[in-house]
Amino acid sequence: MGAVVFDISMSLDGFITGPNPAPEQPLGAGGERLHDWAYGLASFRERHGEPGGETNPDDEVLSEAFSRAGAVVMGRKMFGGGDGPWGDDPWEGWWGDDPPFRMPVFVLTHHAREPLAKRGGTTFTFVTEGVGVAVEQARAAAGGRDVLVAGGADIASQCLRAGLVDEIQIHLVPILLGDGTRLFDRLGPERIELEPIRVIESPRVTHLRFGVLR
């Protein structure tokens, strides 16, 4: 069985979005800079249907994450569409008709909705029973590969508090956002122990991987 891996880019001062996230800028003011390291990589471009791109240690890290994963768990804010009931013309995600996931995606929400199938192998399943059920369903769908917890911060914290995460991979970006959504603000008082697995450095980002000790 694969691992449950929380994987996300974070600024040097601990933010995973900039301030004031909104539908027109889901990562907040300046938040897109968190992913500048990835946009030009061959594996990123391939997932978005674009040719070319750089092949380097950053690309190897991203390609590894894609190849190991068999399913994704995310929160409704990452999927998009605002709060409350989905309505008569529900939001279909930030990624258009051909999302880059190309695997089953399980979206945590308080409001039920039928699964949404897209091109390229991505199907969004909307889970209302909590993170435990979402991760369980993702494990079953992953076929022995990793389950990737993609965010946001609240979903990551819920999974960590529930003891569902096996590994954390943080892409530490050398920028200071100053404000926004902090990654580890909602963990609570329970102590969570980590074991370093590896560090991969590049001029644009440092990839930190940790095991979560039970």
What one-character-per-residue DSSP string does 29-68 give? TTGGGGGHHHHTBHHHHHHTT----B-SHHHHHHHHHHHH
- What global pTM score does this model have? 0.93
pLDDT of 78 higher than 80: yes
Is residue 54 within 8 A of residue 40, CB to CB? The reply is yes
**Distant-in-sequence, close-in-space partners of 25: CB < 8 Å, separation ≥ 6:** 18, 31, 32
190 pLDDT exceeds 80?
A: no
**Superfamily designation of domain 4-85+97-213:** Dihydrofolate Reductase, subunit A (3.40.430.10)
3-state secondary structure of 168: strand
Question: If you average pLDDT over residues 103-117, what whole number do you get?
Answer: 96
pLDDT at residue 116 is higher than 80? yes
- Measured in degrees and rounded to the nearest 5, phi and psi for residue 150 equal -95, -15
> Domain residue spans in the chain?
4-85+97-213
Provide long-range contacts, Cβ within 8 A and 24+ apart, for 50-55.
none
SS3 121: helix
What span, in angstroms and rounded, lies between the C-alpha atoms of 13 and 47? 29
Half-sphere exposure of residue 152: CA atoms within 13 angstroms, side-chain side: 20
